[in-house]
Structure 1
Amino acid sequence: MSLLRWLSLSLLISNSLALYGCGEEQPTNSSAGFAGLGQTAEGFQHAEPNQAIRFPQDHAAHPDYRIEWWYLTANLEDADGVPLGLQWTLFRQALMPPGERPEPTPWAADQLWMAHMAISQGEQHHVAERFGRSHSQAPLYQPHDAQAGVIATPFHAWLDDWQLKATRKVDNADFNDLTLSAYSGEDTSRFGYTLTLTTEGPLVFHGEKGFSQKAANGQGSMYYSQPFWQIEGDVTLNGETKSVSGRGWLDREWSSQLLDARQSGWDWFSIHLNDGHKLMAFQLRGGGDSSDDTEAEQDADYRSGTWVTPQGDATPLATDDITLTPLATSSVAGREVPTRWRLEIASVGLDINIEAPHANRWMTTSVPYWEGEVVVNDRASGEPRGVGYLEMTGY
């Protein structure tokens, strides 16, 4: 990368981090970083109810929306049966609304890309981050020549040589048969993975046919998932490569104003239950009730979720159907972070404890957050019920 290109990219990154409230002067123990997702988004396209999700187009990027991600988590085991977790995420952020963008040139860019990868096993937690840029208008080059991007057919999401892509050149409308490859570091510090992802169930739409409301005032995102991944492949950790297999969950989400201005962050759960059911549940802290102007109502949490049968039938879960109670916290990166929860879903009679076996899953990225594997047990009997992932922001 040339010095001029690096300086240009650094400027774009700085602008982006400023938008998220996490510039260099921000203290490392600040909980800011995600409240910026509640800022106004004038000039951008907005997610709305009754907005149809279309395939394969919507697997690709939506540059006229302000933020977007392709987000994979996986609960795996190595050949010795030792649990292992991993994450790979590609984020896109539009730096300016469509009407303010410069004409495409070799140096102009209006889209910032950020990719995260992590591998966790036992007390080990390895994290890497990369940045890239692109232009949203007709490129001066073929799409695959861009530093970062996502195209729908055949599906391909990448930032440099980190990539999630179709294994066959077909209309890959349902994310069937993908490969994921990402590595960081050198020699004994090298870590990463090469994985094959195969679907065993349909895509799942969240909320109202894919519109996922995030606050009582009605704003939200377009949101669907592929929670039926079966994953096999190789993971490299501490310079050693081992075979792994297990289950994965991929989230697709795009929006221009994801949070209400009163919301400081979220707690998000993806759960694979042993009986084949899947569960997505989240709470956004604040913004829970716009029908009352009292401070208590404005500070109420907003909850939502989706109950998924083994066949892939999805049922939206209302705010009052979900009860989330933190049971214990852990000191992580100078913060007190809830790492043991009780989750109740009244409509399906679910009452479970969700616990992170290892608390040190802090993502030391430009916008820091907690992300790690969890185990699920029945609240009454203590019997194992499943595994999953937990993401917590704003702490």
Structure 2
Amino acid sequence: MKKWLFLSLFFLLILGGTTQHWEKDLAAQELGNGTLPVIKEGEGKAVYEPVLPDITINVGKDFNEHPNYHHEVWHYKANVKGDDGREYGIQWTMYRISNGDYQGVGWKNAQIYIAQAVVSTEDQSWSQQRISRGGIGQAGVLMDPLRMWIDDWLWKSNNNFSMPSQLQVKADDFSIDLTSASYGPFVLNGDKGYKKTHDLLSTASYFFSAPFLKTKGVLMLNGKEVNVQGLAWLDKEWGNHLIASNTLRWDAFSIHLKDGRALALTQ
């Protein structure tokens, strides 16, 4: 089966009026005293939980969202083959970005969610994007059991772990319904899950992956149902590593090799 190569360019996500300047080094110093600066909504600079090395990552618990950090992303990608003999590439991504360091309720909630779904063949693609404000029930993440949603797009599990799980996406001209399960270990990327992206110590992220996933399910493309199965890959990353410059980005490449190994490169 021909393997699709996934090359993801993560550009700055800047929402009008939401660019934050946070003093993470100050926050890291305050951690030594057991306190963090308390800033009310709209006052001064946003201060998020610092991203520091030597933090233990729990790949079950940390699949949940981390609203005390500026942003995070769940990124799922799959190479599958259909019962029609065709190969399909599938990507689903959900972003959370904080509009401030306050934890309001309802419309005062600081979280914004963006989700993207793409299905591709060698000659055609289907895609759709959604955006929602947190706090009003339209989007969010819950545990016990795991449930992550935006409108009627849903990632769910029968337990608090990310696997096994089901992804359900309904768009105008396509839909995705996949069940995934792991057949190998999760991986802590970078330095035991800590990934530094700038000279500033705390401009960094926590990052783990599940590169060994098997998936199967049904795609609905232009009204035609296709049963598919293949391999998938899941990345989870959160932190404070957006940089206020449109000239900076990071590139990620991942692929399943024929001998059963998985390869990931990040620049």
TM-score relative to the length of structure 2:
0.79
Q: Distance in 2 between matches of 1:19 and 1:279?
A: 38
Aligned to 2:191: 208
CA RMSD of aligned residues (A): 2.2
Is 2:163 aligned against 1:176?
yes
* Mapped partners of 1:260, 1:176: distance in 2: 35
Distance in 1, matches of 2:226 and 2:144, equals: 32
d(CA) in 2 for partners of 1:230, 1:251: 15
CA distance in 1, matches of 2:204, 2:247: 12
Aligned partner of 2:231 in structure 1 is: 247
1:120 Cα deviation from its structure 2 partner: 0.5
1:17 aligned residue: 15
Deviations 1:177-204 (A, max 9, x none): 101100111xxxx202111101101211
Q: CA deviation at 1:56?
A: 3.2
For residue 15 of structure 2, what is the amino acid of its counterpart?
Answer: L
Paired with 2:107 and 2:246, the residues of 1 have a C-alpha distance of 37
Q: Which residue matches 1:321?
A: none
User: Would the alpha carbon gap of residues 201 and 264 (structure 1) be closer, same or farther in structure 2, given more than 3 Å must change?
Assistant: same
Shift of 1:237: 1.1
- Please say if 1:155 is aligned against 2:142: no
Q: Deviations over 1:63-89 (max 9, x none)?
A: 111111111011111124321101111
Aligned pair 1:198/2:196, yes or no? no
Does residue 47 in structure 1 map to residue 51 in structure 2? yes
Q: 1:228 to 1:130 in 2, by over 3 A?
A: same
Answer 1 or 2: higher relative contact order, Cα 8 Å, separation at least 6: 2
SS in 2 for 1:18: coil
Contact 1:214 1:259 (8 Å CA) reproduced: no
Q: Which residue of 1 aligns with 2:36?
A: none
Residue pairs, 1:118-133, within 5 angstroms: 118-133=118-133
Displacement of 1:44: 1.1
8 Å Cα contact 1:69-1:252 kept in structure 2? yes
User: Which SS does the other structure have where 1:58 is aligned?
Assistant: helix
Distance across 2 between alignment mates of 1:130 and 1:247: 26
How many matched pairs? 231
| Residue of structure 1 equivalent to 2:265 | 281
Residues 59 and 152 in structure 1, CA contact (< 8 A), matched pair in contact too: no
1:95-137, Cα deviation, whole Å (9 max, x unpaired): 0113xx54x2x432211011100110122111101111223xx
Equivalent residue for 1:233?
217
- In the aligned structure 2, how far is the partner of 1:16 from the partner of 1:260? 9
**Structure 1 counterpart of 2:79:** 75
Distance 2:243 2:264 in 1: 18
The offset of 1:61, in angstroms, is 0.7
In structure 2, distance between residues paired with 1:262 and 1:238: 37
Given that 1:114 and 1:132 are in contact with CA atoms closer than 8 Å, whether structure 2 keeps it comes out as: yes
> Judging changes above 3 Å, is the alpha-carbon distance between structure 1 residues 53 and 260 closer, same or farther for their aligned structure 2 residues?
farther
State the identity as a percent: 32
Query: What's the offset of the Cα at 1:223?
Result: 0.2
How far does the alpha carbon of each residue in 1:249-283 deviate from its partner, in whole angstroms, 9 at most, with x for none? Answer: 11100011244858522221011011111111111
Which residue is equivalent to 2:40?
none
The Cα of 1:152 is off from its aligned counterpart by: 3.3
After TM superposition, the structure 1 = structure 2 runs for residues 1-395 of structure 1, keeping only pairs within 5 Å, are 17-18=15-16, 40-42=21-23, 43-98=47-102, 101-102=103-104, 104=105, 106-135=106-135, 146-166=137-157, 168=158, 170-172=159-161, 175-185=162-172, 190-218=173-201, 219-259=203-243, 261=245, 264-283=248-267
Structure 1 residues 40-49 or 121-130, which shifts more?
A: 40-49
Change (3 A) 1:52 1:196: same
Confirm or deny: 8 A CA contact 2:59 2:208 kept in the other structure.
no
TM-score by length of 1: 0.55
CA deviation after TM superposition for structure 1 residue 148, in Å: 1.0
| C-alpha spacing 1:259/1:271, structure 2 compared with 1 (3 Å) | farther
CA distance, structure 2, for counterparts of residue 16 and residue 267 of structure 1: 18
Q: 1:387 maps to what in 2?
A: none
Gaps of 5+ in 1: 1-14, 21-35, 136-144, 284-395
Q: Is the 8 A contact 1:56 1:153 kept in 2?
A: no
Letter in 2 for 1:197: S
Amino acid at match of 1:181: Q
SS at match of 1:17: coil
Asked if the contact 1:196/1:233 (under 8 Å) is kept, the reply is yes
